[in-house]
Amino acid sequence: MELDHVVILVNDLDAAARQWSNDGFTVTPGGAHADGLTHNALICFADGSYIELLAFRTAAPTAHRWERLRRFPGPIDYAVAVSDLSTFAQRVIERGLRYSPVTEGGRQRPDGITIRWRSSWPPPDAEGLPFLIEDLTPRELRVPAGDNRRHANGAQGIAELTLVVNDLNRAARDLTILLGAASDESAAFALGEALLRVRRPASNGEETLITRRGPGPASLAVALTSGQTQRFG
Q: Spell out, as residue ranges, where the chain has pLDDT lower than 50.
A: none
pLDDT value of position 185: 63
- For 26, half-sphere exposure in the C-beta direction (CA atoms, 13 angstrom radius) is 19
Please report, for residues 27, 29, 190, 219, the alpha-carbon distance to residue 18 in angstroms, rounded to integers and kept in the order given.
8, 11, 32, 20
- The ranges assigned to domains in the chain are 2-232
pLDDT digits (tens, 9 = 90+) for 104-137: 999 999 999 999 999 999 999 999 999 999 999 9
The span from the CA of 93 to the CA of 102, in Å, is 12
**Does 2-232 carry CATH code 3.10.450.50?**
no
Is the pTM value of this prediction over 0.75?
Answer: yes
Q: What is the pLDDT of residue 183?
A: 65
pLDDT for position 184: 62
